[in-house]
Amino acid sequence: MSMTVEELFEHLSTRFNTEAAAGLNRTLQWKITDVDPGIWAFEIKDGKGRLIPGGVDEPDTTFVTSSETWVAIAEGRQDAMRAFMTGKLKVKGDMMLAMKVPKLFETGV
């Protein structure tokens, strides 16, 4: 059974790869549109991660996608790069940081 968008964000910190985040001080943000809308940010500071429901004013990278696409990516059923290439996932801001996200979080639940 799939988790809700909110449940997946709440579990994000448990799937955070601290080794991959070493030396990073950045903030990622997700803007989920449609059925289960919301904004969540994830602050990475000194190898630690913290979820910020409601988001922040100036994230380094923002991902804009539907709840269906994000759930599929988070559960490992959808490739993030393919979603980006087909327009299902939009990225604003630091593209290099966006490319690191698959290494920062383990997919699958």
pLDDT for the residue 36: 79
Residue-range domain boundaries for the chain: 5-101
Alpha-carbon distance of 73 to 58, in angstroms, equals 24
69-80: pLDDT as tens digits: 998 988 889 998
CATH (residue range 5-101): 3.30.1050.10
pLDDT for the residue 1: 56
Alpha-carbon distance of 8 to 45, in angstroms, equals 21
Q: Is the confidence at residue 2, as pLDDT, over 80?
A: no
**Which long-range contacts does 82-89 make (Cβ < 8 Å, 24+ apart)?**
89/63, 89/64, 89/65
Global pTM value: 0.90
12-26: pLDDT as tens digits: 889 899 999 999 999
DSSP letter for each residue of 10-57: HHHGGGB-TTTTTT-EEEEEEEEETTS-EEEEEEEETTEEEEEET--S
pLDDT for the residue 12: 86
